[in-house]
Copies of this chain bind each other. A is one copy, B any other.
Amino acid sequence: MSDEVRLDLDEVHRLATGALRAHGASAEQARAIADNIRRAERDGAKSHGLFRIPFYVRTIVKGRVDVKAVPVVRDLAPAVVQVDSCRGFAPLALEVGADPLTEKASAQGIAAQAILNTFHIGALWPEVERMAERGLVAFAFTSSICFMAPAGGTKPLYGTNPMAFAWPRDGQPPLVFDQSSSVSARGEIMIHKRDGRALPEGWAIDSDGNATTDPDAALAGAQLPFGGYKGSSIALMVELLAGALIGEVFGFEEYARDPDDSVGGLGGHFMIAIDPLRCVAHGDRGAQLAHAEKLFARILELEGTRLPSQRRYSARTRTPTEGVTIPKSLHDTLLGYARG
């Protein structure tokens, strides 16, 4: 099709890097982001692939992010590491924090990582997957701009606050889920708006607090948590972990600082990593992972069920040889960025 461009994964990386470098990003910041963009395209996670580069660029152009930031690691406790992202994007801070988090989890059994002053506009699955590839169980939590109402509420207060979890597997990629606390991603509402389609019931309320299926009314109103008050509790937990616990802002505070932000604000991020070997008296990684495989096999035996991340891993087997496609208009935009 003439309106699509086919790229191999190295080209994806080069396009991302070029766009970011042309906007002043340091080699390290650009590479860390481009690595994540390539991971997303590799896995068919298009909304976090090259499609996301204009979000990064807009955030840079606004001038609040430091695209040359060098993250600073501080040892806070035997089992806690802090990474000050210094107003840079999250991927480099997460990369720099991965080794200390791994070492602490292995030495102490469980460890936490607090990331400060970061712009996190990517998915969480790459970071928990990285820890699980090192044999650890991992959680990640990040708050975001307040677009979601608490259950029962009529105004936005929480971010769509995602949490992610990963479990290591032998000989294959980890089991991973990465899910927002809202029923739908905000991008899904934007896509409905673009396509002139009504939203499914239960996604959002309008600015008067009434249920709506109109995308414009939803974007002006508030998104709703998944599963009612239970999803709302998860969102509250994420606000506390990525906010007050680590000395960072809540979503509504960042919004007060920058009410125009529609991308992803400056804030905190929290991770936990656990070494399974240290959670039993005579750790046998093989046996623990083999045990988990029995549960996964049961899930796959059931009609209609699948493992979270299965779709991504299925794409991952194809894209290294088949490449990926992006709209020609996006390709033109990215080439334009790189020309500066």
A-side residues, CB < 8 A to B, are 74, 76-80, 82, 107-112, 114, 137, 149-155, 157, 165, 167, 175, 177, 179, 183, 209, 226-231, 233-234, 236-237, 239-241, 243-247, 250, 252-253, 272, 274-276, 278-281, 288-289, 291-292, 294-295, 298-299, 302-306, 308
Q: What chain B residues lie within 8 Å of A298 (beta carbons)?
A: 157, 252
Known A77-B278, A303-B209; judge A179-B82 contact (CB<8 A).
Answer: no
Specify which of B107, B112, B227, B274 is in contact with A109 (CB 8 Å cutoff).
Answer: B112
Residue contact B244 to A165, C-beta cutoff 8 Å: no
Residues on B with beta carbons closer than 8 Å to the beta carbon of A229 = 179, 308
A245:B231 contact, CB within 8 angstroms:
no
A288 touches B245 (CB 8 A): yes
Complex contacts, A152 vs chain B, CB 8 Å: 304-306
A185 shortest CB reach to chain B, Å: 12
Query: How far is it, in angstroms, between the C-alpha of A250 and the C-alpha of B290 when the chains are bound?
Result: 13
How long is the Cα–Cα vector from A299 to B148 in the complex, in angstroms?
12
Q: Which 5 A-B pairs have the closest CB atoms?
A: A227-B227, A77-B109, A80-B109, A226-B227, A79-B108
* A288 CA / B109 CA spacing, docked (Å): 26
By CB atoms of chain B within 10 A, which of A175, A234, A272, A279 has the most? Answer: A279
Query: Would you list 28 pairs from A and B whose C-beta atoms are within 8 A, ordered by A residue?
Result: A76-B109, A76-B279, A76-B281, A79-B109, A80-B108, A80-B278, A82-B281, A110-B110, A110-B112, A149-B302, A150-B305, A151-B305, A152-B304, A155-B302, A157-B302, A167-B240, A175-B236, A177-B233, A179-B229, A179-B230, A183-B227, A209-B304, A229-B308, A243-B295, A244-B295, A247-B288, A252-B295, A253-B294
Chain B residues with CB under 8 Å of A109's CB are 76-80, 111-112
Question: A111 touches which one: B79, B150, B302, B308 (CB < 8 A)?
Answer: B79
> For residue A275, which residues in chain B have a CB less than 8 angstroms away from its CB?
77
Known: A230-B231, A288-B244. Is A239-B74 also a contact (CB below 8 A)? no
Chain A interface, >50% SS class: mixed
The answer on a CB contact under 8 Å between B179 and A233 is: yes
Instruction: State the Cβ distance, A234 to closest chain B Cβ, in Å.
Output: 8
Q: Is A236 a contact partner of B308 (Cβ separation < 8 A)?
A: yes
Q: A77-B110, A79-B109, A157-B299 are in contact. List 6 more A-B contacts (CB 8 A).
A: A80-B110, A137-B241, A234-B234, A236-B295, A240-B292, A245-B288
- Shortest Cβ distance from residue A254 to the other chain B in the assembled complex, whole angstroms: 13
Asked whether, in the complex, the Cβ of B226 is within 8 Å of the Cβ of A230, the reply is yes
On whether A233 and B79 interact (CB within 8 A), knowing A150-B299, A155-B302, the answer reads: no
- A114 and B281 CA atoms in complex are apart in Å by 10
* Pair B305/A246 contact, Cβ less than 8 Å: no
A183→B107 CA distance, assembly (Å) = 39
Kindly list chain B residues whose C-beta atoms are within 8 Å of the C-beta of A165: 233, 237
B79 touches A302 (CB 8 A): no
* In-complex Cβ contact of A281 among B74, B175, B250, B253 (8 A): B74
Q: How far does the alpha carbon of A246 sit from the alpha carbon of B282 in the complex, in Å?
A: 11
